[in-house]
Amino acid sequence: MTPALRLTGLHKAYKDIRAVDGLDLEVRPGECFGLLGPNGAGKTTTIEICEGLLTPDEGVVELLGLRWKTDRAALRERIGVSLQETQFSDKLTVLETVRLFRSFYAAGEEPGAVLERVQLTEKARARVGQLSGGQKQRLAVACALVGTPELLFLDEPTTGLDPQSRRQLWDLVEGFRAQGRTVILTTHYMEEAERLCDRVAVVDRGKVIALGTPRELIASIGADQVIELVLSDGAPGLSPTWTGIPGVLGAARVDAVITLRVAQLHATLPGVLAAIERDRIGIEELRTHAPTLEDVFVSLTGRHLRDG
């Protein structure tokens, strides 16, 4: 089967910054694929190269078996795009905006039907300028959907949205995906990647540093639980004794937070507490949680996703 997207040896540099530095990817038809990484990881550059808005310095981009250089017109008809922070004209209504985008495509959905799908029917006659952030984002998705794309690109679709708007957008993406079409999205929210994506590529410094289903990725760090210790001001750094405690698989420190990946929480915790006691480490807070993609990123890079 032709992959929905294939990237081989992608490079793109701006002056002396290597935004994309040798990136390979393959996205299967019908899957929801996520590029997860902190701000500045090269996600937007990568997705804009895929969308044909940027040309790579090196590497091959294939979408639906086609290439931008030779099949630009055909590709434009078959993909849908929602960019980061597009502001549509404030003076047009929601319906007028979607109609305008519909007019660009040879085939597509009826604008009214698209608005219904993104739950903006009530706002059809409202000016774009009067919409909330979540409504504007759903309008952006409506404009991406109106040409009935086979492949949908969403760049940071829920950044800056409140939790309810975020959930509405997730439902929308799941609905699209349920029709058997392909979604490629970028995000720096691990909950979003875990909830929406069949597979995730963790991107850092222009490279894919891990790839798999969210479950596989989380399992790859081999921990059942994660213990976070928030240090008091002036507490000493990473104690070399952490990894010596039975059950502790790995330790990382980001700012004042020490993250311990552990096998069995109930068996490991007493040893951890004893070490804190023995070394007189000032602890502000102790938290535990099941490992997430965030922990995957921390264990791979020693940094948090939100660090930027």
Which of 103, 108, 111 shows the shortest CA–CA distance to 80?
Answer: 108
**Residues facing 203 on adjacent strands:** 208
Side-chain half-sphere exposure of 57, counting CA atoms within 13 A: 13
Work out how close the CB of 6 gets to another protein at its nearest, in angstroms, rounded to a whole number.
Answer: 20
Q: Minimum distance between the CB of residue 106 and another protein, rounded to whole angstroms?
A: 5
Q: Which of 21, 26, 71, 96 binds another protein (CB under 8 A)?
A: 96
Among 42, 52, 134, 206, binds another protein (CB under 8 A): 52
Interacting residues with another protein between 63 and 92 (CB under 8 A): 73, 76-77, 79, 81, 83, 85-89, 91-92
Six token digits for residue 221: 């760090």
d(CA 280, CA 186) in angstroms, rounded, equals 43
62 versus 155: smaller Cβ distance to another protein: 155
> Which one, 44 or 292, has the nearer CB to another protein?
44
Contact between 15 and another protein per CB under 8 A: no
CB of 152 to another protein, least distance (A): 12
| Interface stretch with another protein, choices 1-9, 50-58, 230-238, 268-276 (CB under 8 A) | 50-58
> Residue 110 CB: number of other CB atoms within 10 A?
12
Amino acid at 273: L
147 binds another protein (CB under 8 A): yes
101 binds another protein (CB under 8 A): yes
Residue 101 or 242 with smaller CB distance to another protein: 101
Binding footprint of another protein on the chain (CB under 8 A) = 51-53, 73, 76-77, 79, 81, 83, 85-89, 91-92, 96, 99-101, 103-106, 143, 147
